[in-house]
Amino acid sequence: MSQDTVTMDKIVALTKRRGFIFPTGEIYGGLGSTYDFAHYGVLLKTNVKNAWWQTLLQERDDVVALDSAILQHPRTWEASGHLAGFTDPLVQCLGECKRRFRADHLEPGTAVCPVCGGELSAPRDFNLMFETTMGAVQESGNKVYLRPETAQGIFVNFKNVLQTARKKPPFGIAQVGKSFRNEITPGNFVFRTREFEQMEMEFFVPPAEALQWYDYWKQARFQWYVDLGLRPDHLQLREHDADELSHYSSGTADVEYLFPIGWSELEGIANRGTFDLTQHAQFSGEKLDYFDPNTGARYTPAVIEPAAGADRATLAFLVDAYDEEVIGDDTRVVLRLHPRLAPVKVAVLPLVRKDGQPELGREIVAKLRKRGLQVEYDEGGSIGKRYRRQDEIGTPFAVTIDHQTLEDQTVTVRDRDSLEQIRVAIDALPDHLVTKLSAEWRSPKLDA
């Protein structure tokens, strides 16, 4: 299968060619490591985010949603430690190329620039937060930061949520949104960019239960990727060594995926203890704890945080789905995306643009849309070209209308993966497709 044939270059080319992801500002020569999501990319990433929301909000009742602002009060970043400590060690080439590198990404002991061989500067701490000013006048005191993570917006709302959500620990607050980091060395397509989307959840628990919940979320988050079709032998959970841990963490594990660039982090699950709530309580003077009316105990909850990247996950799903299949003399490129993630669920393709086929096609599209399916109608070009296009965007089913359709009111349904074609009566088509698609949507977890 595909893993040997897929490269980052092929994914970049496919996503550009088929309209998933474009380089930002391409007509001006591009803006380094910044990307715009096009039609199919928007549909795919939205499905990834919806799948995340669904497992947390719809399938359980101990998590609530939040959408906090990108611009938070500047004190937030003092309390969180980002202002002082959200840095990467930067070294710069003092020779010809003047390139900048993350010292911890170079081979240990590297003394010269790996690009031009020039002398390297001593490492210095480089803060990754983007700064801007709030209001019309640029003066000191109105400096704000684009959030480098969504998590802090959750902690500063802890009290408000606790008072309104009718939840008590263990419970979680989940949020999806843009984060910004002035990465020293972005790259590898959308794996590491300076503007990206995160899917984060802070799960507040009685401190004595922290370890148990840490284990629970590691397993649950690993399983989420398996349920959505990533091959399990290309996924691993890696526990951080003590010297890798962030200042707030007493345990962190990464869900890693075998990208074409090697094993790399998809998501981090951290046991943050009581660090964040304690810091914000101290900096704000507010009480950020929980009073348990049953036991009479007052305590600061500990926090387990699964933090994922929506763009990085989207890239992993694309890489994992990419396949080149030889059929006779031909090779087809096919994205074997999980049907739940596929941008388009069904393509409706009249064989010819006459004899009432387009009209019937439009009727079928309307029927399928009424059932909530993302459908695409395409009547242009040879049928082979149209199949190829749908394969490359990962559409699970193609419905073809041909001369027989007008005689017996049946269509062919082509399966993206097996290429099997069966005839189905038009009347039965919506039920047939909805049943097939939703049967495959059911996560194995729910079947148990």
Rank residues 183 and 215 by Cβ distance to ligand ATP and give the closer one.
Answer: 183
Distances 335 to 313, 323, 431 between C-alpha atoms, Å: 15, 6, 25
Rank residues 154 and 348 by Cβ distance to ligand ATP and give the closer one.
Answer: 154
Q: Under the criterion CB under 6 A, does residue 175 sit at the interface with ligand ATP? A: no
Q: Give one DSSP letter per residue of 146-180, joined into a string.
A: B-S-SHHHHHTTHHHHHHHS---SSEEEEEEEEEE
Going by the DSSP 8-state scheme, the letter that residue 93 receives in this structure is B
Q: Which two tokens stand for residue 390?
A: 């749908």
Spatial contact of 161 and 153, defined as CB atoms under 8 Å apart:
no
Rank residues 171 and 189 by Cβ distance to ligand ATP and give the closer one.
Answer: 189
Q: Please enumerate in sequence order all residues whose Cβ is within 8 A of that of 372, keeping only pairs 6 or more positions apart, or say none.
A: 434
Distance CA 321, CA 339 (A): 11
Q: Under the criterion CB under 6 A, does residue 183 sit at the interface with ligand ATP? A: yes
Rank residues 199 and 335 by Cβ distance to ligand ATP and give the closer one.
Answer: 199
Residue with tokens 């930002």: 24
Q: Under the criterion CB under 6 A, does residue 153 sit at the interface with ligand ATP? A: no
Q: Under the criterion CB under 6 A, does residue 338 sit at the interface with ligand ATP? A: no
Q: How far is the CB of 130 from ligand ATP (least distance, A)?
A: 12
Q: How far is the CB of 228 from ligand ATP (least distance, A)?
A: 15
Q: Under the criterion CB under 6 A, does residue 128 sit at the interface with ligand ATP? A: no
Q: Under the criterion CB under 6 A, does residue 8 sit at the interface with ligand ATP? A: no
Q: Which amino acid is at 3?
A: Q
Q: Nearest 5°: phi and psi at 411?
A: -130, 165
Q: How far is the CB of 81 from ligand ATP (least distance, A)?
A: 13
Q: Please enumerate in sequence order all residues whose Cβ is within 8 A of that of 357, keeping only pairs 6 or more positions apart, or say none.
A: 350, 351, 401, 402, 405, 406
By DSSP bridging, strand 346-350 and strand 397-401 are parallel
Q: Under the criterion CB under 6 A, does residue 227 sit at the interface with ligand ATP? A: no
Rank residues 167 and 240 by Cβ distance to ligand ATP and give the closer one.
Answer: 240
Q: Under the criterion CB under 6 A, does residue 402 sit at the interface with ligand ATP? A: no
Stretch that binds ligand ATP, among 89-97, 266-274, 282-290, 347-355 (CB under 6 A): 266-274
Q: Which of 159, 181, 221, 386 binds ligand ATP (CB under 6 A)?
A: 181
Residue nearest to ligand ATP (CB): 309
Torsion 320-36-441-170 (CA) sign: positive
Total site size for ligand ATP, rule CB under 6 A: 16
Report CA dihedral (327, 328, 331, 333) to the nearest 10 degrees: -20
Rank residues 244 and 415 by Cβ distance to ligand ATP and give the closer one.
Answer: 244
Q: Which of 312, 340, 345, 389 binds ligand ATP (CB under 6 A)?
A: 312
Q: Which two tokens stand for residue 132?
A: 């801007």
Residues contributing to the site for ligand ATP (CB under 6 A): 149, 181, 183, 192-193, 196, 198, 265-268, 307-309, 311-312
